[in-house]
Chain A
Amino acid sequence: MRDRFSRVLSQCSADYAEIRFEQSQTTQISYRGGKLEEVSRSYSSGGNVRALVGGGWGFACFNSLERLSHYVALAVRQAKLAKGEAFELPRREPVVDVVEGRVKKDASGIPLAEKKKLFDEYNSAMLTSPDIQDSRIAYRDVRRRVIFASSEGSYIEQEKPDLTLRLTAIARGNGEIQQAGLSLGSVGDFSAVENLHTAAKEIARRAAALLHAPQVKGGEYTVILDPILGGVFVHEAFGHLSESDYVYQNEPLQQVMVLGKRFGGKHLNIVDDATIPGLRGSYKYDDEGMPAGKTYLIREGVLVGRLHSRETASRMAEEPSGNARAINYLFPPIVRMTNTFIEPGNASFEEMLGEIKEGVYVRDWYGGTSSLEMFTFSAGEAYMIRNGKLAEMLRPVVLTGNVFVTLSNIDAIGSDLDMNQGGGCGKGGQSPLPVSNGSPHIRIRHCLVGGG
């Protein structure tokens, strides 16, 4: 394969070209309506050629390698037509490497019958609560091998296993429907989704309790976010704004996102780090063959870095950060987050809580999205805070705000950093990309809260 790719690439007339080829096998199991709904297996193989000519990109993807030189020629033609403003790709030594996935308990090797037995147990655990009308389980494991070859001489093979599980309990009563869920994930390690029987019971109990919970009165509150929701917040509210493809051609936004600018208090540190072993957003090389990095986005409240592809780094005269990723061969790599988190501080949960007269404690996530400046995300679990104490449970709430204001309204950061592995990120039609998010408990003043 290596010889063939390098031969084709060496004959190509582009300034730069690369081939990505991948093969994957997926197993999916889903439960619905209280029983097993679907078990399916799939395989996929395909690749793409990306070519750069005078600043414009061409991209051709295919299922079969048979006519590889045809697709290379096509990508070059497209790149010539697209010709944009020229730039120099940042120089890096070519890399030749093979990265095997190291998985404790490889999910793809576990028989279907064993997986089904475990999920049957979770399903029964959720259905033991009498108000539960419906239970859903969505499980997926993928084994993927990606080959990357570039005209600069890089040749990298990487194993990229992934696994996700979501459990949802749906309660029904008085014509209303409420739900509670749990999302988990791992780098293909099945043990991450074992021993969840108690958790499955707990989400069923919570879904049933929501039927009797009141709705929050919309308005501004002081809120405490748990590590899961804090992670969603940092991803949605700030992470996307750090992706340089939004910034590099947008001069007014560059003025806003100027390095050295203060965004929050001295206690605020935000990091994106693809080098932490065993997290879903981790890898050794990104989809442009750049080594993964750890990037401080905010250090002591000040903007100090951002996420780059080779192109955005070059155009902004900054260092590449190894953040160009593609969900699969059908798409070109774009600037994405990896494992994004707020570093721990030293506030305790009790201290944060004790100082709040009226507020909301929000936990767990339903979803979230952002439009750069504005972000919104929803909490799966919420409680009123009255006079420094947790009070009644609320229906799910939605939080929204302006990132520039909200980051400076974070007034306490806990010490209990935890990474959530159950999420997936969507951007530019590429969803869901494996990422992880994390945070300690954080407290935010003046946050706009609406009923879910």
Chain B
Amino acid sequence: MKKQREQLLRLLGSAGKKAEQAEVFAVSTEMAPVHFEANRLKQIQSQESTTIALRIFREGKVGFAVGQGAGDVETLVDMAVQTAPFGPRANFEFPSVKDYPRIDVFDAGVPRLTMKQMVELGSELIARVREHTPDLLCDVGVTRGISSVYLVNSRGGEADWEESFFSVTLEGMLVQGTDMLLVGDSESSCRFSSDVSPLAGRVITQLERAKSTAALSPGQMPVIFTPLGVASALLVPLVLAFSGRAVLDGASPLKGRLGEEVFDPKLTLWDDATLSYRLGSCPCDGEGVPSQRIPLVSRGVVANFLYDLLTAALAGKKSTGSGRRMGDRLPAPGISSLVIEEGRGQFEDMVGDIKDGLVVEQLMGGTQGNLLNGDFSGNVLLGYKVERGNITGRVKDTMISGNVYQVLKEIIAIGSEARWVDGIFRVPHLYCPRLSVATKA
């Protein structure tokens, strides 16, 4: 670690000789996934990787290079220098912050976890779910990981922290003739948990609700999105639209609508990078701007957009600490954890309220349409028909289409129990009055 730190400081120093400002961002990750296929232990892996990103301001422009694995300091500096003449104008300064509020994102229990324990955990999960449905074929992944992050810039800014990661994923398949039922869910956070019951319970509920199939007639009908349904159908367009970059480019439908009531007044939504043990949390973003909670929608009104340093400077705003690093790209505005505030609705009451309708648990291909406009459309991979206040079975050959801004303009109820989906979305159930549903005759 110390050796690597010295190398990074040498890189910063070397870059500093050829640039007005320089910034080095390094992440070292150790991951250990255990995979089960078709109920059987299949593969145990370990992955180590280190990525170093160098960003410089040279003759007023941003140069950028990324290195993974063996390569010397000068190669990276040369590559960044080569790109600088073509880069965007350097219109901001790197923050000189050194002290950040403490955010808990490391659980010492995660690195202590042995491969054997992970194998046992996966086996237990499969056994629990198959106790309910013996013929189910489960693919299970149990993964632990730790990352250490180091950020340093030529203006004296410096941040460094450790993150842990633990996730359990189950995908189950039940084949009967040419009919395939797919169920599944996952759980991930920075913290180790030896309790697989909540995950097993959710999958068993899916199996229970999908026991029989029910025919649905096409048309407009009320729809309940479960938390998984909300995440698979509605959130990706919103994530894109709240990016300050999309707003600046005019590619967001929310451009020019700050302060306007665009959504149902029941809807409140925020981004929060300060939550303890959440995958999106960190003391600062990928540029050294301290993390914060950013209201995005307050009682239906558009409250803020997300900014990194460069976009903020272009838009005449302040960075919201949302400069996220993805792969070998420059930081760009992005979410940390997206949270929809819980409402007062109970799932049972929502179902009880519907004469003819649909519960959407998993939408397939929800993100393949014109996302920028908020359009979504896809196959209901897992969904249930509601008849006279009861779930009567799983639907097949069913497709829903809609627009996020229309759907979230009028919500009948928001569920009172939110849960984490994919480790970065905290979402409750949403009950919408009407959505267009197409089915096969």
Genuine A/B complex: yes
Instruction: Give Cα A374 to B396, complex, Å.
Output: 9
- Which residues of chain B from 294 to 336 have any CB-CB distance to chain A below 8 Å in the complex? 328-330
Cα distance A398–B381 when bound, in Å? 15
- Which of chain B's residues have a CB closer than 8 A to the CB of A116? 86
B45 touches A78 (CB 8 A): yes
For residue B64, which residues in chain A have a CB less than 8 angstroms away from its CB?
Answer: 38-41
B1 close to A (CB within 8 Å): no
Q: Which residue of A lies closest to B116 (CB)?
A: A81
Q: Mark B381-400, 1 if CB is under 8 A from A, else 0.
A: 10000000000000011011
Known contacts A42-B328, A46-B68; A179 and B372 CB within 8 A of each other: yes
User: B134 contacts the other chain (Cβ, under 8 Å)?
Assistant: no
Measured CA separation A256–B44 after assembly (Å) = 30
Smallest beta-carbon distance A164→chain B, Å: 14
By a CB distance below 8 angstroms, the chain B residues around A79 are: 44
| Interface size, chain A (Cβ < 8 Å) | 84
Given the known interface contacts A63-B50, A74-B46, A249-B40, the answer about A178 and B381 at a Cβ–Cβ threshold of 8 Å is no
Knowing A39-B87, A63-B70, the reply to whether A369 touches B47 (Cβ < 8 A) is no
Residues in B with CB closer than 8 Å to A170 are 249-251, 372
Kindly list chain A residues whose C-beta atoms are within 8 Å of the C-beta of B250.
Answer: 33, 133-134, 170, 172
Q: Which residue of B lies closest to A248 (CB)?
A: B38
Closest to A59 in B: B45
Given contacts A61-B49, A332-B45, contact A43 B377 (CB under 8 A): no
Q: What's the minimum C-beta distance from B98 to chain A, rounded to whole angstroms?
A: 27
A133–B249 touching, CB < 8 Å: yes
Measured between alpha carbons, how far is A401 from B399 in the docked complex, in Å? 9
B67 sits at the interface (CB 8 A): yes
CB-defined interface of A65-86 with B at 8 Å, one 1/0 digit per residue? Answer: 1000000001000110111110
How far is B372's CA from A396's CA once the two chains are assembled, in angstroms?
13
Do A36 and B137 touch across chains, with their CB atoms under 8 A apart?
no
Q: A40-B83, A43-B71 are in contact. Are A177 and B397 (CB under 8 A)?
A: no
Residue A100, interface by CB 8 Å: no
Per the 8 Å Cβ criterion, residues 1-57 of A in contact with B are: 26, 28-29, 32-34, 36-46, 56-57
A219 located at the interface, meaning its Cβ lies under 8 Å from any Cβ of chain B in the complex? yes
Stretch at the interface among B169-177, B221-229, B344-352, B421-429: B169-177
Any B CB within 8 A of the CB of A367: yes
A401 x B397 contact (CB < 8 A): yes
Residue A296 at the chain B interface, CB threshold 8 Å? no
Q: What is the bound-complex CA distance between A133 and B401, given in angstroms?
A: 25
Q: Is the interface of A mostly helix, strand, loop or mixed?
A: strand
Per-residue B-contact encoding for A292-312, CB less than 8 Å = 1, 0 else = 000000000000000000000
A32-B249, A84-B40, A378-B365 given as contacts; is B436 within 8 A of A451 (CB)?
A: yes
In contact, A366 and B368 (Cβ under 8 angstroms): yes
| Chain A residues near B198 (CB-CB < 8 A) | none
Partner of A218, one of B37, B253, B367, B399: B399
Chain B contacts for A291, CB-based, 8 A: none
Contacting pair B397 A218 (CB below 8 A): no
Docked-complex contact A36 and B42, CB < 8 angstroms: no
A356: B residues at CB distance < 8 A: none
Interface string of A96-124 (1 = CB under 8 A from B): 00000000000000001100100000000
Partner of B378, one of A28, A74, A376: A376
Cα separation A29 to B115 with both chains bound (whole Å) = 41
Of A250, A398, A446, the residue contacting B401 (CB under 8 A) is A398
Q: Is the CB of A112 within 8 A of B86?
A: yes
Judge whether A192 is part of the interface by a CB distance below 8 angstroms.
Answer: no
Report if A451-B377 is in contact (Cβ < 8 Å); known contacts: A57-B42, A59-B45.
yes
B45 close to A85 (CB less than 8 A): no
For chain B, residues 89 to 131, give those with C-beta under 8 angstroms from any C-beta of chain A: 115-116, 119
Does chain B have a CB within 8 A of A342? no
Tell whether, in the assembled complex, residue B251 and residue A133 are in contact, meaning their CB atoms are under 8 Å apart: yes
Q: When chains A and B are docked, how far (Å) is the Cα of A368 from the Cα of B71? A: 38
A452 near B377 with CB under 8 A, answer: yes
In the assembly, what is the distance between CA of A76 and CA of B110, in Å? Answer: 23
Q: A179-B370, A250-B175 are in contact. Are A78 and B115 (CB under 8 A)?
A: yes
Residues of B within 8 A of A33 (CB): 245, 248-251
Q: Which chain A residues lie closer than 8 Å to B45 at the CB level?
A: 58-61, 78, 332
Q: Does A373 contact B (CB under 8 A)?
A: yes
Let me know if B70 and A64 touch, CB within 8 A. yes
B369 located at the interface, meaning its Cβ lies under 8 Å from any Cβ of chain A in the complex:
yes
Q: Say if the beta carbon of B41 comes within 8 Å of chain A.
A: yes
Check B397 against A42 for contact (C-beta < 8 Å): no
Q: A41 — which chain B residues lie within 8 A by C-beta? A: 64-66, 79-80, 82-83
Within 8 Å CB of B364, what residues of A? 369-371, 374, 376
Quick check: A38 and B87 within 8 Å, CB to CB? yes
Q: What 0/1 readout, one digit per residue, does chain A (205-232) give for beta carbons within 8 Å of chain B? A: 0000000000000111000000000000
14 CB < 8 A contacts A-B: A39-B87, A41-B82, A64-B70, A133-B251, A134-B251, A330-B47, A330-B49, A368-B365, A374-B364, A378-B377, A398-B401, A401-B440, A451-B401, A452-B401
List 3 A-B pairs, minimum CB-CB distance, nearest first.
A367-B368, A218-B438, A252-B175
Enumerate chain A interface residues (CB-CB to B < 8 A).
26, 28-29, 32-34, 36-46, 56-65, 74, 78-79, 81-85, 112-113, 116, 133-134, 170, 172, 175-179, 218-220, 245, 249-250, 252-253, 256, 330, 332, 366-378, 395-396, 398, 400-402, 404, 446, 448-452
Seed contacts A43-B66, A78-B46, A374-B381; 4 additional CB < 8 Å A-B pairs? A28-B328, A58-B44, A112-B86, A330-B47
